[in-house]
Structure 1
Amino acid sequence: MGGRLGGVGTGLALGGGLSYLAPQYGMACDSFKELEVVLPNGTITTASATSNPDLFFGLRGGGGNAFGIVTRYTVQSHPIGKFYAGTLVYVLDHSQAVLDAARDFIAYNTNPKASIMATYEVLTTPDVLLNLDKFIVVFLVYDGTEPGTAFRNFTQIPHLLDTSKPNKTYTEVAEMPIPYTAELSRADNVFRIGAHRIEGAAGLQRPRELYDRYAAWAAANKGLYVYVALNLYPVARSMTDASRARGGNAMQMPDGPWLWVRYILSTPPGLLPGVYDKVQASFRAMVEATPSAPGLPLFLNEAAADQRPLSTFPTYSRLQQIKRKYDPDGFFVNRTGGWTFD
């Protein structure tokens, strides 16, 4: 179990790790069997379900630098065969239709072999020619060669491109291109995350509410970013069940379905400090205008530092105790960046 991109390192699992296989097997951290850890006092120890189980619990999705440095992973592997996978590309004339399809997939799909990721991209180029500064990419992945009707709500919407086909290896799935221009421009990337329920009338309208605020911000701030993106990550009931069956993780995720929403802001090099601070503050305010649902944990891998994602975990007080036990002098608080419990 890894991430959705082949180039992402193994450290992502310490912060949770979200894979296209997650609806079947849980988060990447749920596949940990044993970890070798160097503690702040220099001791090399083992963390597993039977050896230092509290440390093992904290490292399964609670981040690594708060407790120790993980130097070896033993993980449970899972058999895989061929996949039906690819991308659908739409113009934003169909933004609402794709939002509704994604919402319905999150709310009603019960096939753990089917997985999606929907991303709404806006470039800083002027919106003057056929809305070509905006596009939607939906990633479709099915663990098998015949998805049946799992993705029908997406494929029946008019689209510009469909690269989906059967008999792909998982390597090919993990190398599906993502149009993140910041990777080419070396722009400054800032991630923010939200967590939202989709229950009831208000919940079912939440994806549209999130998108409307995001699109309005993108239109009002042209020229201050390279690109911005809004990504929808389903958290299926099968994913939370699989996590719990493997002992759970530091997030102790409530039963699905619900969704994580990831926002990306990529600013160009050379912005004056005052302008940079202003656009970051405005972007943060846009995200916070739709507060995350109480009781849902923020995704550590893709949260901003000021969001204090660890404090959103229902296990936060337990994690604080584990932190004090293994790092009583606050070594990592004073000497490393990243997530802390202080």
Structure 2
Amino acid sequence: MILPQPQSLFLCITAFLLSAPTSTLADTHNNKPPSLENACTVLSTALPGLVTFPNTTLYALENTYWSTRQSALGPACFVTPKTTAHVSNTLKILTSLRQPFSVKGGGHAAFPGASNSDANGVTIDLFRLTTLSISSDRKTVSVGPGNRWINVSTALDEAGLAVVGGRVADVGVGGLILGGGISYFSGARGWACDNVRNYEVVLSSGKVVNASPSTNPDLYWALRGGAGTNFGIVTRFDLVSFEQGPLWYRSQIFPGALNATIIPIFQNLTVKGLPLDREAHTYFVMTHIPALGGFIVLSDQFRSTPLPPSPQTIPPVFQPFNPIPTIFNSTIVANISTISKAIDAPYGFSQLWLNTAVSATSAALLSDFVPLYESYANTLIAKANGTEITPYLIFQPIPTNILQAMQVNGGNTLGLTPSDGPLVIVQLAVTWADSSINEFVVQEAKSLLGKIEALAKKRKLYNGFVYMNYAEPSQDVLGSYGKENLARLRKVARKYDPQGVLQKLWRGYFKLDG
């Protein structure tokens, strides 16, 4: 009797795994997994040339993440599918072997393990899935999850088009859309998840389905903010596109001491100004920059269409900022890719994000967050002991016009309605160089967020919505969508992943069950 060589054995078993019906694959979750050397070897046999192992140049490149808290991990291997069929085969193999895995799109999440695995897992890196095509009627752009937003905006700038997508150049397409997606164009069109015509999705079984308002509408709803980690790997987003030229953009930096003047202007913009000018967009940032004298306030302001007659002509909605003395004041008219590169954030640092949502009806509440933030920032700076650290307090508006726009096509999963608004996302962000203080930074940020939430609750101005794309894993993101939506999300997950495979195996980001 001639025994098959190891390579032939892997090919035979791999062929069985890929051809087995869904029920057979599901049954393996209740039995001992096949006796194979490891999942990475099986994957490399099934997908030759698409698996990278540690101690190689390509592995080092793939293990580069925006936050060093993520790249500090390292999976057993990366698998880099080129096609939807490759993704399907990859999922069939990993689920049949009961192999934990993570999925990387742009790798722009802050916390460790959000889109990377440790040595006990596999990371599926989607960077080769870079479809980018414009429909003949120019109303739909099909985008692969391996794209960064700079790829999308560069192509669409040339075509005179835009989509409701990310503001920062290097952010990945998939994570931003599946978590919600704040955009320059949200005032008139809602968030990115509200502007998807169709999702192509690989389910845990390996089956490829589409999700749109007319096809699998329950899955379509769930993917509008419910995170792909609970339902499947999205391999194509068909996005609503529209005619769009350059944007008007003003960036202003003010002395931090003027926060008491600027916050009421921002608050009034959120409540009254932005709903009257749906093409306008802004946010408030407070941070500490030693080169600028300490605490400063940044206000970035954008307007899409129609453009002012010249860059120096300030749209009426933003004119309340004009009399305030600035440290820096720059106004340009430029295409989206130019602006998104201007506000991009560098790699090479540890990153942290946390957030909550409060009512926008009280400027006093927002102002009272500032001394809490300043005390916390000084504590972090002292702990950093001369190493680079930048703590941020960020206010991102959700005015009533955005809440209204979120209701299209049956609404998204976020649980927000016009009656909730207007709201402000209060975001804490930190960028720092010394990894030895990681845990200290995380705990201090959690403490500050607790104080912010307690103050908002005391004044009956707390909403509690948590924006997934700015959250830490300790936050109950999906629970913040409300009991009804959480139950509905779980029902959809059970329908499309009846064995709960993704809940058990897909590590990272925000799950329905832990």
Settle same-fold status: TM greater than 0.5: yes
Higher relative helix content: 2
Q: Distance in 2 between the 1:59 and 1:142 partners? A: 29
Q: What is residue 486 of structure 2 aligned with on the other side? A: 316
- Say whether the 8 Å CA contact 2:359–2:463 is kept in structure 1: no
- Say whether the 8 Å CA contact 1:224–1:268 is kept in structure 2: no
Q: What is residue 208 of structure 1 aligned with on the other side? A: 367
- What SS class does the counterpart of residue 139 from structure 1 fall into? strand
Give the counterpart letter for 2:501 in structure 1: F
Please list the CA deviations of residues 154-176 of structure 1 after superposition, one character each: whole Å capped at 9, or x if unmatched: 222110111113x3222223223
1:73 aligns with 2:237: yes
Q: Distance in 1 between the 2:245 and 2:438 partners? A: 46
Give 1:224 shift: 3.0
> Which structure 2 residues correspond to residues 296-311 of structure 1 after superposition, within 5 A?
296-311=464-479
Q: Distance in 1 between the 2:510 and 2:380 partners? A: 30
Q: Distance in 2 between the 1:90 and 1:58 partners? A: 41
- What SS class does the counterpart of residue 250 from structure 1 fall into? coil
- Say whether the 8 Å CA contact 2:198–2:237 is kept in structure 1: yes
Relative distance call for 1:159 and 1:295 in structure 2 (3 A) is closer
Give 1:31 shift: 0.6
Give 1:296 shift: 4.7
- Say whether the 8 Å CA contact 1:31–1:246 is kept in structure 2: no
1:9 aligns with 2:146: no
Q: What is residue 335 of structure 2 aligned with on the other side? A: 169
Q: How does the TM-score come out when normalised to structure 1?
A: 0.89
Q: What is residue 85 of structure 1 aligned with on the other side? A: 249
Q: Distance in 2 between the 1:219 and 1:100 partners? A: 24
Q: What is residue 194 of structure 1 aligned with on the other side? A: 356
Show structure 1 runs of 5+ residues with no match: none
Give 1:294 shift: 5.3
1:279 aligns with 2:441: yes
- What SS class does the counterpart of residue 170 from structure 2 fall into? coil
Give 1:6 shift: 2.1
Give the counterpart of 1:140 among 279, 282, 301.
Answer: 301
Q: Distance in 2 between the 1:177 and 1:27 partners? A: 19
Give 1:325 shift: 1.8
Please list the CA deviations of residues 209-246 of structure 1 after superposition, one character each: whole Å capped at 9, or x if unmatched: 22221111112332335111011111111111112134
Q: Which deviates the most, 305-314 or 292-301?
A: 292-301
Give the counterpart of 1:251 among 408, 414, 417.
Answer: 414
1:121 aligns with 2:287: yes
1:155 aligns with 2:322: yes
Q: Which deviates the most, 241-250 or 289-298?
A: 289-298
- Say whether the 8 Å CA contact 2:213–2:409 is kept in structure 1: no
Please list the CA deviations of residues 236-274 of structure 1 after superposition, one character each: whole Å capped at 9, or x if unmatched: 111111121343111132213211111112343341xxx
Q: What is residue 221 of structure 2 aligned with on the other side? A: 57
- Say whether the 8 Å CA contact 2:359–2:462 is kept in structure 1: no
Give 1:198 shift: 2.3
Q: Distance in 1 between the 2:364 and 2:355 partners? A: 18
Q: What is residue 327 of structure 1 aligned with on the other side? A: 497
Q: Distance in 2 between the 1:2 and 1:258 partners? A: 21
Q: What is residue 108 of structure 2 aligned with on the other side? A: none
Give the counterpart of 2:396 among 230, 233, 258.
Answer: 233
Q: Distance in 1 between the 2:286 and 2:295 partners? A: 8
Q: What is residue 264 of structure 2 aligned with on the other side? A: 100
Q: Distance in 2 between the 1:276 and 1:189 partners? A: 9
- Say whether the 8 Å CA contact 2:263–2:363 is kept in structure 1: no
- Say whether the 8 Å CA contact 1:30–1:247 is kept in structure 2: no
Query: Which has the higher Rg, Structure 1 or Structure 2?
Result: 2
Q: What is residue 278 of structure 2 aligned with on the other side? A: 112
Equivalenced residue count is 326
- Say whether the 8 Å CA contact 2:211–2:219 is kept in structure 1: yes
- Say whether the 8 Å CA contact 2:377–2:391 is kept in structure 1: yes
1:264 aligns with 2:429: yes
Q: How does the TM-score come out when normalised to structure 2?
A: 0.60
- What SS class does the counterpart of residue 306 from structure 1 fall into? coil
- What SS class does the counterpart of residue 223 from structure 1 fall into? helix
- Say whether the 8 Å CA contact 2:252–2:300 is kept in structure 1: yes
Please list the CA deviations of residues 2-42 of structure 1 after superposition, one character each: whole Å capped at 9, or x if unmatched: 11112211111011000011011000010111111000111
Please list the CA deviations of residues 270-291 of structure 1 after superposition, one character each: whole Å capped at 9, or x if unmatched: 41xxx54333212201111122
User: Aligned residues: percent identity?
Assistant: 22
Q: Which deviates the most, 253-262 or 22-31?
A: 253-262
Show structure 2 runs of 5+ residues with no match: 1-163, 309-313
- Say whether the 8 Å CA contact 1:86–1:176 is kept in structure 2: no
Give the counterpart letter for 1:210 in structure 2: F
Give 1:295 shift: 4.8
Q: Distance in 2 between the 1:238 and 1:321 partners? A: 30
Q: What is residue 118 of structure 2 aligned with on the other side? A: none
Higher relative contact order (CA 8 A, sep 6+): 1
- What SS class does the counterpart of residue 442 from structure 2 fall into? helix
Give 1:112 shift: 0.6
